[in-house]
């Protein structure tokens, strides 16, 4: 499977590279574009400030440019938190998208979004301050209306970015469970 994996608001950190290596070891081809052009951050607040300075449109432009050379092959879009929201936007706009793997995040869905049974898998903490229960319920219904085939996995007590071993949110048990399920999802595509 060809996977375009987008980083979180912390930037392209070691955890993203390690995730890409894990996916490669499972037989997938993975690209990890650096949307922040080498910048990484120690706190979510620093990353969000930098992200706000770039702007959503510019981040999406960078993501589209990164994916464009590979999209004809059919991509699975994936991402962590902010990167998941970017992956979701690209997948919903790419008629050749093969799947969408969301780790720790979602995004708004355009009313006009329409896909043909796009397989979508979301992994998120429970509770998650960025992905509230009400938001996730509405998101799920909108994704279904758009035509996606959605699975949601919640991890009680885990922090927001629980798959990153370098952050306080890290939860080894939840992270390993996420990777087991996510790898099975990718193998099914």
Pairing of strands 76-80, 99-103: parallel
- The answer to whether the beta carbons of residues 84 and 107 sit under 8 Å apart is yes
Sheet harboring 99-103: ordered strands across?
A: 29-31, 2-6, 76-80, 99-103, 119-126, 149-156
Q: What is the pTM of this model?
A: 0.97
Sequence-distant (6+) residues with CB within 8 A of 67 are 4, 33, 75, 77, 90, 94
Residue 155: per-residue pLDDT:
98
Residue 181: per-residue pLDDT:
98
Residue 94: per-residue pLDDT:
96
Distance CA 73, CA 96 (A): 8
Closest Cα partner for 3 from 85, 65, 91?
A: 91
Residue ranges in the chain whose pLDDT is less than 70: none
Neighbours of 70 (CB within 10 A): 14
**Is residue 99 classed as helix, strand or coil in its secondary structure?**
strand
Residue 107: per-residue pLDDT:
96
Distance CA 113, CA 127 (A): 27
Which two tokens mark 157? 């007590």
Residue 132 dihedral angles phi and psi, to the nearest 5°:
-70, 160
């Amino acid at each position: 499977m060809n996977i375009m994996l987008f980083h979180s608001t912390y930037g392209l950190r070691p955890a993203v590279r390690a995730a890409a290596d894990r996916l490669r070891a499972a037989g997938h081809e993975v690209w990890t574009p650096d949307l922040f052009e080498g910048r990484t951050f120690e706190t979510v607040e620093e990353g969000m400030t930098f992200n706000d300075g770039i702007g959503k449109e510019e981040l999406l432009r960078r993501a589209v440019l990164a994916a464009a050379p590979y999209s004809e092959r059919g991509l699975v879009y994936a991402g962590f938190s902010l990167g998941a929201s970017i992956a979701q936007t690209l997948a919903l706009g790419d008629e050749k998208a093969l799947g969408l793997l969301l780790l720790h995040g979602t995004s708004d869905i355009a009313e006009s979004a329409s896909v043909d049974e796009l397989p979508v898998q979301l992994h998120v903490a429970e509770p998650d301050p960025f992905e509230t229960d009400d938001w996730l319920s509405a998101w799920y219904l909108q994704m279904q209306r758009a035509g996606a085939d959605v699975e949601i996995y919640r991890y009680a007590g885990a922090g927001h970015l629980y798959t990153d071993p370098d952050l306080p949110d890290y939860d080894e048990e939840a992270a390993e469970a996420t990777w087991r399920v996510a790898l099975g999802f990718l193998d099914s595509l």
